[in-house]
Amino acid sequence: MADNGRGDLQDRVAFITGAARGQGRSHALTLAREGAVIVAVDICASVPTVPYGLGTEEDLAETARLVEEAGGRCLTARADVRNREELVAAVEKAMATFGRLDVVVANAGVAQGLPETEAATIDEIWADYIAINLTGAWNTLQATRDALVDGGRGGSVIIISSTSGLKGTSRGDVRADAYTAAKHGLVGLMRAWANELGPAGVRVNTIHPTAVGTPMVENPAMGAWVEANRHRVAGGFNDAMHRGRVGLQDVSEAVLWLASERSGAVTGVTLPVDNGFVIA
- Active site residues per annotation: 179
- CA pair distance 22, 145, nearest whole angstrom: 25
How far from each other are the two terminal CA atoms of the chain, in whole angstroms? Answer: 39
Give the CA dihedral 156, 161, 165, 171, nearest 10 degrees.
-170
Cβ 168 vs Cβ 174: under 8 Å: no
| Residue 167 phi, psi (nearest 5) | -145, 155
Task: Tell me which DSSP letter residue 131 carries.
Answer: I
* Nearest one of 143, 144, 141 to 191, comparing CA atoms: 141
Q: Any alpha helices (H) in the chain, and if so which ranges?
A: 22-33, 57-69, 84-98, 122-130, 136-150, 177-197, 220-229, 248-259
Q: Which residues contact 107 (CB under 8 A, 6 or more apart)?
A: 16, 17, 18, 19, 23, 24, 27, 160
- CA pair distance 185, 230, nearest whole angstrom: 26
